[in-house]
Amino acid sequence: MPHLTKAHDELFKRSPDEVFPDLKTLYNHCHEQKKNATEKWHAPSDIGVNIGDHGPTLTLAEDGDHSLNNWSFTQLCQISKVSTGTVNKVRPETAVDILMDTLPGGTKPLQFLTEGNHLRSIHGATYTRLYNADLLNTVNEFAVDFQPAQEGMGAASGLYCGEQDMFVFLIDPTGWTEIEGEAFAPGFFLWNSEVGKRTVGIQTFWFQAVCQNHIVWDATDVTEFSRKHTARVHDSLDPIRQHVEQLAKKRDERRDGFIGVIKTAMKEKLGKDDEEALKFLTKRGFNQCLAKEALKIAKQKGEFTIFSIVDALTRLAGRNPNAGERTELDMKASQLLSLVN
């Protein structure tokens, strides 16, 4: 089974101001960004480049002067077809001359995303924006019971939003169930960029463990959907919603099925007496001393049901100081549940 590293990669590239403690705080931030965002359209001939306190600024005709961040500056250089490294190396006056001389001509307007007098991104006419807040609305509505994974290294939450993109890592810690005799829980990654840095997409999966550096171990049922920010990007909300709904539906089905197995295991017996139950366990690879100890614990609860014996074996496994032997015994014990009719 594969290990998933998307959340791991995000953890190590995010600065502290891009980390959010919970979904509500992240959503409020994205909602404020959307509320304060303005899309402006100007022809290249309406654009002027000036010298600001921290590098070049862009004048958008009657909309005035706007500061640039790293991303919008990079986009400005890309549109002008000049190297950011070159522009950064020369004097500010020379940088302004380079950009003014290389800006595209024509009357076809460019799209500018602004927040106050700050320029977040520059795009051509074919780019269509999907706001992070709109994507999170879908998650809040349909990903019931999902929450951030356990805290990672450096207090990483798995919830990130910076000037270029957003990334969300959620799991359902109550959704543990058995798949082919092993325990799995559901989770998903969600990502988007309001400024064209990356696609919008989702990856859903079932996993066995998440370590402190947010590597998702032993994933199964991995599905992924993504779409570029073109004219129909808002249509992506439907398949993303469907991916989340399908994950939650499968979680509920598996959990209900597992609950049914446990209820039956509480009634089904492995033997009518100690001798018959002991013979049953030793035939399935449990050593006699361990089997006798498990039956002694199970007998305290009454009859030798499958559940009482699995529970006893699990308790004994927990006392084993050797992690490898403990895991092996846990797995052998859980396999007894497959005997449930």
Instruction: Report pLDDT digits (tens) over 67-80.
Output: 999 999 999 999 99
Percent of the chain with pLDDT over 70: 91
User: How far separated are the first and last CA of the chain, in Å rounded?
Assistant: 28
pLDDT band at 323 (very low <50, low <70, confident <90, very high): low
Supply 294's token pair. Answer: 């498990």
Region of poorest pLDDT, from 20-29, 87-96, 256-265, 276-285: 256-265
Q: How far apart are the C-alpha atoms of 160 and 311, rounded to whole Å?
A: 40
Average pLDDT over residues 129-156: 90
Q: How far apart are the C-alpha atoms of 148 and 134, rounded to whole Å?
A: 19
Cβ-proximal residues to 263 (8 Å cutoff; 6+ apart), any chain? none
Average pLDDT over residues 296-309: 77
Distances (CA, A) of 313 to 197, 322, 326: 52, 15, 10
Give the residue with greater pLDDT, 4 vs 312. Answer: 4
DSSP string, 166-220: EEEEEE-TT--EEETTEEEEEEEEEEE-TTSSS-EEEEEEEESEE-TT-PEES-E
**Per-residue pLDDT, 263:** 73
**pLDDT, mean over the chain:** 86
SS3 assignment, position 108: coil
SS3 assignment, position 66: strand
Contact criterion met (CB below 8 Å) for 123 and 117: no
Q: How far apart are the C-alpha atoms of 33 and 29, rounded to whole Å?
A: 6
**Per-residue pLDDT, 331:** 67
Average pLDDT over residues 141-152: 87
Distances (CA, A) of 85 to 82, 95, 105: 9, 11, 23
pLDDT band at 23 (very low <50, low <70, confident <90, very high): very high
**Per-residue pLDDT, 133:** 97
- Token match 């403690």: residue? 21
**Per-residue pLDDT, 51:** 84
pLDDT in tens, 267-294: 778 777 778 888 888 888 888 888 888 8
SS3 assignment, position 31: helix
Distances (CA, A) of 320 to 276, 313, 315, 323: 26, 11, 9, 7
Is a pLDDT exceeding 60 seen at residue 27?
A: yes
**Per-residue pLDDT, 312:** 80
Q: How far apart are the C-alpha atoms of 158 and 21, rounded to whole Å?
A: 9
Supply 205's token pair. Answer: 């999966």
The length of the chain in residues reads 341
